[in-house]
Amino acid sequence: MNRSLRVLSFLILSSIVTVLTYSGCSKTTVVLLKDPEGKVGHLVVENEAGSVDITKENEATTIAGATSKPAAPKRYSEDKISSQFGEALNMLPTQPKHFILYFKSGSTELTDSSKAQIPDILKTIELRSSEDISVVGHTDTAGNSAYNMRLSQRRASVVRKLLIGEGVRADHIQSTSHGEANPLVKTADNVNEPKNRRVEVVVR
């Protein structure tokens, strides 16, 4: 056997060993669950050997290595899911909560119904021990864009101060403003649209 043939056969042999080791050692399991809104999503699990869709609650597939085809979907019991994934699932954070506060036209005064939402925001911050709160100011398109940028900054600042006044730490709040650039309801310029005069508060 000449030298190059020997090198080639070594390479082939070692890659076979690698593939065998890899597929023998590693295994992936994926299980689709019902989300907090009661919906069940859709996953496509694939590798070079094939692809499987899982679309039903508690449906699972296993993949025994990168070169073996994902197994046909199989339903997992709640018990099996909690024994295999309980520790991870227990640590899954609640998804961030979004609040939208509205303002009176051209002003930094909250509408009455939005004022009434402040206690909810404070309660959410407390319940989640949140240290990551975003306050983002917006306006409608009435008035020019420079004016609206300043107005959205003032709106964000009013909400920020309101939260700080209620005991939220200033360094836990990031506030920004988008002026009239990100309307909730798209309108022509110079349109008075109550839904766009808002500050969004995100509690993480």
Partner 1 sequence: MKKIAKMVCILVVSLVPTLGHGAFQAIGIIKSVEGEVYLISSSTEIQAVSNMKLISGDNIITGNDGSVGLIFKDDTVVSLGPNSQIEVQDFVFNPAEEKLSFAARLVRGTFSFITGQIAKLAPKKVKLTTPDATLGVRGTKFVVEVK
Contact residues for partner 1, defined by CB under 8 A:
22, 26-36, 39, 41-47, 63-66, 68, 70, 81, 84-96, 98, 131-132, 134, 136, 138, 174, 176, 178, 182-184, 186, 198, 200, 202, 204
Between CA 161 and CA 112, with CA 114 as vertex, the angle to 5 degrees is: 105
Place of tokens 């420079």: 146
Q: Which is nearer to partner 1, 5 or 164 (CB)?
A: 164
What distance in Å separates the CA atoms of residue 58 and residue 4, rounded to the nearest whole number?
Answer: 53
Nearest approach in angstroms of CB 176 to partner 1 is 4
Q: Considering the complex, what minimum distance in angstroms separates the CB of residue 87 from partner 1?
A: 4
**DSSP at 125:** H
Cα gap 91→104, rounded to integer Å? 41
Question: Residue 65 or 162: which CB sits closer to partner 1?
Answer: 65
Backbone angles phi, psi at 65, to 5 degrees: 105, 155
Of 5 and 79, CB closest to partner 1:
79
Q: Residue 109 or residue 132: which is nearer to partner 1 going by CB?
A: 132
> What are the backbone dihedrals phi and psi of residue 167, each rounded to the nearest 5 degrees, phi first?
105, 0
In this complex, which beta carbon is closest to partner 1, that of residue 96 or of residue 194? 96
Shortest distance, position 168 Cβ to partner 1, whole Å:
14
In contact, 133 and 125? CB cutoff 8 Å: yes
Least Cβ distance, residue 57 to partner 1 (angstroms): 10
